[in-house]
Amino acid sequence: MALRRFRAPGRVNLMGDHTDYNEGFVLPMAIDRECVVTATRRDDGRVHARSRGETADVDAAGADEPSAVVPEWGRYIGGVVRALAARGRAPVGIDAEIESSVPAGSGLSSSAAFEVAVALALCDAGALTLEATEVARACQEAERLATGVPSGIMDQLVSVAGVAGAALLIDCRTLDVERVPLPDGIAVIAVHSGMPRTLETSAYAERRAACEAAARRLGLRALRDATLDQVSGDPLARHVVTEDARVLETAAALRDGDCERAGALFSASHASLRDDFRVSTPELDALVEELERAGAYGARLTGAGFGGAVVAICASDRAGEIGATAAAAYAGRMRRDPTVFVCIAVDGAGAIV
């Protein structure tokens, strides 16, 4: 096998957090930060990967327990290998070099980008062809195998299916995907708070279990089917129902080019994630406040919360100024070093030719 390269982007979620595992709606976009895997085939039945001076080695048939692989990042490789083996991939080994510009623990889905890029390299070497949604399902399964976190499918699906210049409106029940073009003159800014997080050490699983319990109490398959009246007394469930509505409203606002309306929905989402779902932190709250004070149309935490990043939308000709002003004010206020990314919506994963 000749040298082959594969890329998979990270993502920023514009609207819809903690709705994916409730079979609801999300509005992410693939961004111009990516994981790249450079691979060649090897004949000893091993997957051997290198990244930043460390190496991971796993059985190409998926025999090694993913959660026991060292170093820790190798667990994702073990998970992907096992998930693809279950889908019929031949146990062909590869040598892989891993590079990534998606910062780990940032809320920009570095793990999904890693999983998807590795999956494409392994499918190529093992002559396995999967539909995009099945690649996403395999990588979602891989993350669960690697970390034990019962994550949704949003991150992996947008990494596979992203479209340049657009967000994706994803129905997490049917996995139907609709392109939502970003209006001219709008910029998307992601700002890492300087406060990393890992889902396995957060209350993510606890929140998911609470949502599933709420759906059972209501006799529903998932909270996606609940009405606001049914959940008015349950803050966690109330967030999910109102957030689903905000996803659809934000998609409509972007289609209409109504940035002010979209910004107001961002602000409402952050308040709901902070007050009802309780996944924000003082750092994330401060960063949202400073972005809005600097002139963003609206800002909100993005991803699961508990740290990581916030996302804001603003006028494109002011993106650099707004990001720099907010970052400086936040750093002085919280004594943390933020990192600003002006994000460009890019196409989903594929081979680099």
Please check whether residues 14 and 139 belong to one and the same domain. yes
pLDDT, tens digit (0-9, with 9 covering 90-100), for 284-295:
999 999 999 999
What integer pLDDT is reported at residue 199 of this predicted model?
Answer: 61
Determine contact, residues 297/313, Cβ cutoff 8 Å.
Answer: yes
Please check whether residues 207 and 76 belong to one and the same domain. no
What integer pLDDT is reported at residue 1 of this predicted model?
Answer: 56
pLDDT, tens digit (0-9, with 9 covering 90-100), for 309-342:
999 999 999 999 999 999 999 999 999 999 999 9
DSSP assignment letter at 283: H
Q: Write the DSSP assignment of 18-51 as a string of letters.
A: S-GGGT-EEEEEEEEEEEEEEEEEESSSEEEEEE
Please check whether residues 186 and 168 belong to one and the same domain. no
What integer pLDDT is reported at residue 195 of this predicted model?
Answer: 86
Q: How many other β-carbons are positioned within 10 Å of the β-carbon of residue 219?
A: 8
Q: Looking at beta carbons, which pairs linking 323-327 to residues 24 or more positions away fall under 8 Å? A: 323/189, 323/191, 323/291, 323/294, 325/290, 325/294, 325/295, 326/191, 326/287, 326/290, 326/291, 326/293, 326/294, 326/296, 327/191, 327/290
Determine contact, residues 269/282, Cβ cutoff 8 Å.
Answer: no
What is the domain range of residue 325?
Answer: 181-343
DSSP assignment letter at 345: B
DSSP three-state, residue 104:
coil
Please check whether residues 165 and 185 belong to one and the same domain. no
The phi, psi pair for 346, rounded to 5°, reads -125, 170
Please check whether residues 302 and 318 belong to one and the same domain. yes
Question: Which residues are catalytic, by number?
Answer: 155
What integer pLDDT is reported at residue 208 of this predicted model?
Answer: 93
Question: Which residue ranges in the chain fall short of pLDDT 70?
Answer: 1, 197-201
What integer pLDDT is reported at residue 353 of this predicted model?
Answer: 84
What integer pLDDT is reported at residue 201 of this predicted model?
Answer: 55
Please check whether residues 125 and 89 belong to one and the same domain. yes
What integer pLDDT is reported at residue 242 of this predicted model?
Answer: 98
pTM for this structure? 0.93
Please check whether residues 161 and 232 belong to one and the same domain. no
pLDDT, tens digit (0-9, with 9 covering 90-100), for 58-110:
999 999 999 999 999 999 999 999 999 999 999 999 999 999 999 887 778 89
Please check whether residues 155 and 33 belong to one and the same domain. yes
Whichever domain contains 219, its CATH number is: 3.30.70.890
Please check whether residues 160 and 192 belong to one and the same domain. no
Query: How many folded domains does the chain comprise?
Result: 2
